[in-house]
Amino acid sequence: MATEHEHVPVLLDRIVELFTPALADRDAVLVDATVGLGGHSDALLEAFPRLRLVALDRDPAALERSGERLARHGDRVDLVHTVYDGLPEALEGLGLSHADGILFDLGVSSMQLDRAERGFAYSKDSPLDMRMDPTTGFTAADVLNTYSPGELIRILRDYGEERFAQRIVRSVVAEREKEPFTRSGRLVELLYDAVPAASRRTGGHPAKRTFQALRIEVNGELEVLRRAMPAALSALAMDGRIVVEAYQSLEDRLVKQAFAELAKSRTPEGLPVELPGHGPELKLLTRGAEKADEGEIEHNPRAASVRLRAAQRIGEPR
């Protein structure tokens, strides 16, 4: 069942404001690379009556739900089942070469968290799945039961920034030898025992970092994002804008680096003029990463961890 926050898009007013110069009063194309339940897309289609939307998602259930929500906009909407690094192919398949706006709302969606059978939420005992596209790929249970101790430690450290990775993995290996992991409740119980009590008092729920790490590994989220950022930026039209909402530091760092690289001039230092074709490709539209204010967080708790960055194309792709 939907929660009261399920249909509340994060930083919606700010996103509409950022896209307005690129989308208002003209025929324009927006790619929502992670359409989810369609909240942002619905508002953008409403705000810009001449907008055409290309909505991507790897989760078939999300596409179905967003399709129902966006049906009132008729043929202005194209739904595409793909991971967001498939953005260029999605545009090409629709006969489009560029997008005037591109939106990424990264991470796990409210719908995925709320459906216990998906296995994303550590607050509910459920199958250890965590696949954003449940029709393909390996599950979180497969990772726990088959990865070597060294691989598990790396995942927890790199993707969950978990200080107690070694302790947790020792416990996982001992337990999986008795019986393979199948449900989240057993893993959460193990994590309560493995993470020291002092850390539990100050570091949040002991399962948070491990569940994040498993989800990122199962869905290849960082690898996909590394491919998706340059692909999306190459598809951005002149004066087009890209907006990215990230909810954890690893994703935000990748976005920051991708933007910063293309916002730099390649003209050698000391030259009095910019060399043709060597100027910045992007203009940064946000100073650092923007966050939600206290009022929005109170209304929509998912906004608490958001980090928003935006950029505009000002030069030809390199």
Domain's final residue, options 168, 192, 219: 219
Distance from C-alpha of 301 to C-alpha of 297, rounded to nearest angstrom: 5
Residue 42 and residue 104 in one domain: yes
Residue 205 and residue 131 in one domain: yes
**3 domain-assigned:** no
**131 domain-assigned:** yes
Domain's final residue, options 165, 200, 219: 219
Residue 36 and residue 101 in one domain: yes
In the numeric block, which tokens belong to residue 217? 């590994």
Is 105 annotated in a binding site? The answer is: yes
CATH number for the domain spanning 85: value is: 3.40.50.150
pLDDT higher at 118 or 181: 181
Distance from C-alpha of 76 to C-alpha of 192, rounded to nearest angstrom: 49
| 79 band by pLDDT with thresholds 50, 70 and 90 | very high
Write the DSSP assignment of the chain as a string of letters.
Answer: ---TTTT--TTHHHHHHHHHHHHTTS-EEEEETT-TTSHHHHHHHHH-TTEEEEEEES-HHHHHHHHHHHGGGGGGEEEEES-GGGHHHHHHHTT---EEEEEEE-S--HHHHH-GGG---TTS--BS---SSTTSS--HHHHHHHS-HHHHHHHHHHHH--TTHHHHHHHHHHHHHHS---BHHHHHHHHHHHS-HHHHHHSS-TTHHHHHHHHHHHHTHHHHHHHHHHHHHHTEEEEEEEEEEESSHHHHHHHHHHHHHHTS--SPTT-SSPPTT-S-SEEE-SSS-B---HHHHHH-GGGGG-EEEEEEE-S---
How do residues 219-275 score in pLDDT, each as one tens digit?
999 999 999 999 999 999 999 999 999 999 999 999 999 999 999 987 777 777 777
Question: Rg of the chain's alpha carbons, rounded to an integer?
Answer: 21
- pTM given for the model: 0.89
Q: What is the mean pLDDT of residues 73-97?
A: 96
> What pLDDT, on a 0 to 100 scale, did the predictor assign at position 119?
54
Q: How many domains does the chain have?
A: 2
Is 84 annotated in a binding site? The answer is: yes
| 4 band by pLDDT with thresholds 50, 70 and 90 | very low
> What pLDDT, on a 0 to 100 scale, did the predictor assign at position 275?
74
Residue 197 and residue 234 in one domain: no
**116 domain-assigned:** no
Distance from C-alpha of 246 to C-alpha of 289, rounded to nearest angstrom: 9
129 in Cβ contact with 268 (< 8 Å): no
CATH number for the domain spanning 152: value is: 1.10.150.170
pLDDT at 202 over 90: no
Domain's final residue, options 178, 193, 219: 219
How do residues 17-75 score in pLDDT, each as one tens digit?
999 999 999 999 999 999 999 999 999 999 999 999 999 999 998 899 999 999 999 99
Q: What is the mean pLDDT of residues 208-216?
A: 92
Residue 215 and residue 126 in one domain: yes
Is 122 annotated in a binding site? The answer is: no
Full residue range of the structural domain in which residue 96 is found: 12-111+221-313
Is 40 annotated in a binding site? The answer is: yes
Is 205 annotated in a binding site? The answer is: no
**199 domain-assigned:** yes
pLDDT at 207 over 90: no
Q: Which of 7-11, 239-243, 249-253, 311-315 has the lowest mean pLDDT?
A: 7-11
**Residue whose tokens read 């078939």:** 60
> What pLDDT, on a 0 to 100 scale, did the predictor assign at position 113?
53
How do residues 118-148 score in pLDDT, each as one tens digit?
556 777 889 999 998 888 889 999 999 999 9
Is 36 annotated in a binding site? The answer is: no
Residue 86 and residue 104 in one domain: yes
**277 domain-assigned:** yes
Is 112 annotated in a binding site? The answer is: yes
**4 domain-assigned:** no
> What pLDDT, on a 0 to 100 scale, did the predictor assign at position 227?
95
